[in-house]
């Protein structure tokens, strides 16, 4: 039985790598994102895969509802929703952060993820099967300077995932939260508003996770037998670990 994966944020980074991975494994795909040309490129490069693309900004509830309502019959039964669309904006301390950046992160990482989940969930529940994999982050569990609203938005994703599991008890629908650390994609270019020098400095001298690493984990989570639910996976590159607590000392 051919399965269908619905991937948000499929135009770049993790989402695009996951689209590749699921295509290689014979899945049908629903791919969404705001950049239409990237979605079209993917279709051109994968002429043998059954792909439905939708240009959608997940911040807009009506667009999300229309995207789900208008799924063609060939792609209407979603086996896997990968709630991946998301972003960090800025790394200034909270007292200097841009409120517009905070709002965009809340609208995308929290509200967008809720809209897509709520739109697709009833059909999964009535079919008695389905899987939602949410893209969390280590930033949802571990604070760092400048993480402020981004980390908090990913803490929401972690607890929303847990609470979804509680609500979906007995329905057969699975929920997982994947929490990656340092990974190279367009993430940092977006975070630093297009400043490539600052973005490159994030990965300088490191061996970060790759989108392919993440795609392999997503596929592994999705490919467990139906009675197995991976609740959460936290993954970092070997070059990343924790630092000691910061202690401010008064100068004599």
* Active-site annotation, residues: 150
CA 122, CA 88: separation in Å to the nearest integer? 30
Closest CA to 25 of 241, 222, 199: 222
Quote the Cα angle for 12-17-19, to 5°: 95
Phi and psi dihedrals of 112, rounded to 5?
-60, -45
Contact 91, 138 (CB under 8 A): no
Least gap, CB of 234 to ligand 8X3 (angstroms): 11
219 binds, among ligand 8X3, ligand NDP, none (CB under 5 to 8 A by kind): none
- Picking from 149, 160, 161, 144, the residue whose alpha carbon sits closest to that of residue 236 is 144
Taking CB under 6 A as the criterion, the residue among 90, 130, 147, 180 binding ligand NDP is 180
Site string for ligand NDP, 114-153 (x = CB under 6 A): ---------------------x-x----------------
Among residues 38, 50, 171, 181, which is the contact residue for ligand 8X3, using CB under 6 A? 181
User: Phi/psi of residue 51, each to 5°?
Assistant: -125, 135
Nearer to ligand NDP among residue 145 and residue 226 (C-beta): 145
Closest among 23, 5, 25 to 78, alpha carbons compared: 5
Indicate the residue among 130 and 151 with the shorter CB distance to ligand 8X3: 151
> Applying CB under 6 A, which of residues 80, 156, 185, 192 lies at the interface with ligand NDP?
185
Of 109-138, which residues contact ligand 8X3 (CB under 6 A)?
137-138
Would you count residue 57 as binding ligand NDP (CB under 6 A)? yes
Q: Are 89 and 191 in contact (CB under 8 A)?
A: yes
HEC profile of 166-231: HHCCCCCEEEEEEEECCECCCHHHHHCCCCHHHHHHHHCCCCCECHHHHHHHHHHHHCCCCCCCCC
| Candidate residues 18, 86, 133, 176; the one interacting with ligand NDP per rule CB under 6 A | 86
Candidate segments 114-122, 165-173, 184-192, 228-236, binder of ligand NDP by CB under 6 A: 184-192
SS3 165: helix
Tokens (6 digits) for 46: 């994968």
The residue within the footprint of ligand NDP, chosen from 106, 182, 233, 235 (CB under 6 A), is: 182
Q: Which helix (H) or strand (E) holds 122?
A: helix 113-127
Which one of 33-41, 68-76, 226-234, 242-250 is the stretch in contact with ligand NDP (CB under 6 A)?
33-41
Closest to ligand NDP by CB, 38 or 127: 38
Query: Pick from 4, 5, 6, 9: which binds ligand NDP (CB under 6 A)?
Result: 9
Q: Which residues bind ligand NDP (CB under 6 A)?
A: 8-15, 33-35, 57-59, 84-87, 108, 112, 135, 137, 180, 182-183, 185-187, 190
Q: Which residues bind ligand 8X3 (CB under 6 A)?
A: 137-139, 147, 181-182
């Amino acid at each position: 039985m051919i399965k269908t994966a619905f991937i948000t944020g499929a135009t770049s980074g993790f989402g695009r790598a996951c689209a590749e991975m699921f295509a290689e494994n014979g899945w049908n795909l629903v791919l969404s994102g705001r950049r239409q040309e990237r979605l079209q490129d993917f279709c051109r490069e994968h002429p043998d895969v059954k792909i439905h693309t939708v240009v959608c900004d997940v911040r807009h509830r009506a667009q999300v509802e229309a995207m789900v309502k208008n799924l063609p019959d060939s792609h209407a039964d979603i086996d896997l929703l990968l709630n991946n669309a998301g972003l960090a904006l800025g790394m200034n301390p909270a007292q200097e952060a841009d409120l517009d950046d905070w709002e965009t992160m809340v609208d995308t990482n929290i509200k967008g993820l809720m809209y897509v989940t709520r739109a697709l969930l009833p059909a999964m529940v009535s079919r008695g099967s389905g899987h939602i994999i949410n893209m969390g982050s280590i930033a949802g569990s571990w604070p760092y300077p400048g993480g402020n609203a981004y980390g908090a938005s990913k803490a929401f994703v972690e607890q929303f995932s847990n609470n979804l599991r509680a609500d979906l008890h007995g329905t057969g629908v699975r929920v997982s939260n994947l929490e990656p650390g340092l990974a190279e994609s367009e993430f940092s270019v977006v975070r630093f508003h297009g400043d490539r020098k600052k973005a490159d400095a994030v990965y300088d001298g490191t061996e970060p996770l790759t989108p392919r690493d993440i795609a392999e984990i997503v596929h592994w989570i999705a490919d467990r037998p139906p009675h197995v639910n991976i609740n959460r996976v936290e993954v970092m590159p070997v070059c990343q670990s924790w630092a000691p607590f910061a202690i401010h000392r008064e100068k004599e």
